[in-house]
Structure 1
Amino acid sequence: MTKAAVYQPGVCNIGPAEIRKRRMSGWVGLAIAVVFLAVVFALGWAASWRLLVALPIFLSAQGFLQAAFHFCVGFASRGLYNFGELGSEETVYEAEFRKKDQRKALLITVLAFAIAAAVAVVAALIPVG
C-alpha cells in the first residue's frame, strides 16, 4: 500500500474509487460550464448573466481539487474517510484529526471559490460582438 492510500488527517481521506468519482464531477462541472458559456455568448447575453458560470466552475474546481489532493470536503465535514469501495466510509473519532480534516476542507473550498470567481469575472469581461 502506498503512503497516499491510507487515511492521513488533513492530508488524504479518500482512495482510488472516491478519487475517480471526484475527478468525474470535475469533468461534469467543466462540461456544463463550457456549454453554458457557448450558449451565453451565442445568444449575446449581458455580462451579468455570464457571472453564473461560477456555479459549474465551482463544482468543477471542487471535483478536480479533491481528486488532486485525495481529499473529500464532504467527508471531512461529516468526520469520515474511505479507501475502499464507494459507500464504505469509516468514521474519524479523534477530535484533532477532525479539526485537521476540516481545515483542509476549508482550504479546498476557498481555492475552488477563488477559481470560480476568477473565471466568472473573466467571462463577464469578454466583449460580445
Structure 2
Amino acid sequence: MSSEYIPGSCNIGTGEIRRRQAVALFGLFLTIFSITTLLATDQNKSARLSIFIPAMIFSIGFIQSRSKFCLAYGLAGTFNFDRLGKISKVGSAADRTADRKTAVLILIKSVALAALITAVFFVIPL
C-alpha cells in the first residue's frame, strides 16, 4: 500500500481507506435492507428502482477504497496520508488535473456499478 501521494493514482492513506470501507459496508447494508423491505412489502416493480441510491453509496465507498483514491479530494485538489481530517493541498496544476480525471472516472464507475445492481434487481423475477 502506498503511503505517499501519487497524482491521479493514490490520494488517501490507511485511515481514509478504512473510512471508505465503512461507507461501502453501510451502503451494502442499506441496499440489502432496501431489497428485503421491497420484497417483503410486495411493492410495485417500479419501486425496485429506489435501490439505486443505497447502491450508489455502496459503490462510491467500494470503488474509492479499492482505488485508494477519494473522489471528493480529487475534485478539490487535496489529499490525506496523515491523521483523519488533516488534509493537504496538491501543489501542481498538472497533478490537480490528473486527480480530477481520476475522480470523474471513479464517479462514472460508481454510477455504472449502482446502475448494474439496480438493473439486476429490477429484472430478477422475484
TM-score by length of 1: 0.94
Find the aligned partners of 2:102 and 2:49 in 1 and give their Cα distance. Answer: 27
Count of aligned positions: 126
Percentage identity across aligned positions? 33
Match of 1:101 in 2: 99
Counterpart among 18, 27, 30 of residue 28 in structure 2: 30
Match of 1:60 in 2: 58
Find the aligned partners of 2:99 and 2:3 in 1 and give their Cα distance. Answer: 16
1:22-55 CA-partner distances (Å, limit 9, x unpaired): 0100000000000000000011111211111111
| 1:67 Cα deviation after fit | 0.7
Where in structure 1 are there 5+ consecutive unaligned residues?
A: none
| 1:123 Cα deviation after fit | 1.1
Alignment map for 1:1-129 (pairs within 5 Å) = 4-128=2-126
Please tell me whether the aligned partners of residues 18 and 82 of structure 1 are also in contact (alpha carbons under 8 angstroms).
yes
Give the secondary structure class of the aligned counterpart of 1:49: helix
Structure 1 residue identity aligned to 2:84: L
**Alignment RMSD, CA only?**
0.9
Structure 2 residue identity aligned to 1:125: V
Give the secondary structure class of the aligned counterpart of 1:5: coil
Please tell me whether the aligned partners of residues 47 and 125 of structure 1 are also in contact (alpha carbons under 8 angstroms).
no
Structure 1 residue identity aligned to 2:114: A
